[in-house]
């Protein structure tokens, strides 16, 4: 679909802008003010599917590093990659998570702000802001390791399947390491 852009320079500027915003999203959680206490860093890696993905590809890989600011609250980033098919989608966002812990499980609702970018072999792609929201469900398998499942809805206006989509829903499963 032609959005009034020509090929070449505008597409490169859009991609450069996307890379810069992803870099800012990555660097944000790593800044810790000198007066702040040293909370542990955690990491989750998940695979699953996403409805309405770029190029109709349902496979998604999700990475989520996070820093615990208190026992209940963490701040981190989330990255989605849909690498297969004629179109790829990459997104990065800053997430705030509230952790509700039970004796043998946990629920962590989250809300975020980020950007998403779709690349395609047939057109110049699309870049837009996105607002991920959802919840992760954890089952501990050790002191620092848990199995996690995440349900998320990404609100955006990316053109994913030939038309402007308002949201994409995802379901991923993986492991979470939190010292």
Q: How far apart are CA 145 and CA 129, in angstroms?
A: 32
Q: Which residue has the higher pLDDT, 165 or 50?
A: 50
CA distance 109 to 167: 18
Which of the given ranges, 32-36, 49-53, 80-84, has the highest pLDDT on average?
Answer: 80-84
Topology at the third CATH level for domain 9-29+41-177: Porin (2.40.160)
- Whether the pLDDT of residue 54 is over 60: the answer is no
pLDDT band at 6 (very low <50, low <70, confident <90, very high): very low
Whether the predicted pLDDT of 20 surpasses 70: no
3-state secondary structure of 13: helix
pLDDT digits (tens, 9 = 90+) for 127-154: 888 899 999 999 999 888 999 999 999 8
pLDDT at 35: 41
Query: What mean pLDDT value characterizes the chain?
Result: 78
Helix (H) or strand (E) holding 46: strand 41-51
The pLDDT, as a whole number, for residue 89 is 79
3-class secondary-structure state, position 143: coil
Contact of 50 with 80, CB cutoff 8 Å: yes
What residue ranges do the domains of the chain occupy? 9-29+41-177
- Side-chain half-sphere exposure of 179, counting CA atoms within 13 A: 6
By C-alpha distance, which of 59, 47, 57, 50 is closest to 86?
57
């Amino acid at each position: 679909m032609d959005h009034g852009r020509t090929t070449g320079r505008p597409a490169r500027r859009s991609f450069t802008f996307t890379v810069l915003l992803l870099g800012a999203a990555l660097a944000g959680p790593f800044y810790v003010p000198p007066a702040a206490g040293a909370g542990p860093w955690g990491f989750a890696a998940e695979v699953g599917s996403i409805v309405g993905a770029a190029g109709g590809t349902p496979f998604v890989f999700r990475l989520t590093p996070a820093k615990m600011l208190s026992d209940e609250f963490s701040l981190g980033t989330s990255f989605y990659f849909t690498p297969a098919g004629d179109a790829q989608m990459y997104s990065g966002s800053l997430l705030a998570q509230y952790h509700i812990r039970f004796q043998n499980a946990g629920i962590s609702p989250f809300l975020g702000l980020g950007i998403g970018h779709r690349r395609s072999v047939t057109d110049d792609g699309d870049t837009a802001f996105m607002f991920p929201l959802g919840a992760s469900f954890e089952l501990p398998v050790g002191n620092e390791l848990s199995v996690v499942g995440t349900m998320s809805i990404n609100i955006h206006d990316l053109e994913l399947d030939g038309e402007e989509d308002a949201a994409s829903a995802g379901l991923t499963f993986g492991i979470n390491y939190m010292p």
